[in-house]
């Protein structure tokens, strides 16, 4: 596989993180989201998510140092990298950018951490990491 490999489900992501020692989860949300909404708990896999904002809060301008920050975190360009945001939009842009910068296998996690809104306009119940019952914590 080379470059942007497309969308994957949260379940596919969990399985890949579990079975591939090199697989990395990059959470591209903001500090506020990590602190108040929660983050994926990968302790059972012996891993930690890498937290790098794709857009900088509060201006929400694209983080032009994003790929450099991935490299500073030691993410190899040959590693499978799974990108997570709230609902799968920012993470797709981040995955495409990383692929354009030479990362060989980047994936967007469809549904993201909180997923789509339900009929009551609430997230976290229809799809995404939380709705799938995957481990997560609040700091």
CATH code at 73? 3.40.250.10
Q: Is the pLDDT of residue 33 over 90?
A: yes
Q: How far apart are CA 23 and CA 21, in angstroms?
A: 6
Q: Report the predicted TM-score, pTM, of the whole model to 2 decimal places.
A: 0.94
Closest to 99 (Cα-Cα) out of 67, 127, 131 = 67
**The predicted structure's pLDDT at residue 44:** 97
For residue 106, give the nearest of 121, 114, 94, 116 by alpha carbon. Answer: 94
Domain that holds residue 39: 4-137
Interval 40-93: pLDDT, tens: 999 999 999 999 999 998 899 999 999 999 999 999 999 999 999 999 999 999
pLDDT for 116 equals 87
Give the number of domains in the chain.
1
């Amino acid at each position: 596989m080379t470059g942007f490999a497309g969308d994957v489900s949260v379940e596919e992501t969990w399985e890949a993180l579990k079975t591939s020692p090199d697989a990395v989860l990059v959470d591209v949300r903001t500090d506020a989201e990590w602190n108040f909404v929660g983050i994926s708990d990968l302790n059972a896999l012996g891993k930690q998510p890498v937290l790098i904002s794709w857009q900088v809060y509060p201006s929400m301008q694209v983080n032009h140092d994003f790929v450099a920050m991935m490299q500073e975190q030691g993410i190899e360009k040959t590693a499978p990298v799974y990108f997570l945001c709230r609902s799968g939009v920012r993470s797709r842009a981040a995955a495409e950018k990383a692929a354009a910068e030479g990362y060989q296998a980047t994936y967007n996690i469809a549904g993201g951490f909180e997923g789509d809104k339900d009929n009551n306009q609430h997230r976290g119940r229809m799809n995404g990491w939380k709705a799938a019952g995957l481990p997560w914590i609040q700091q």
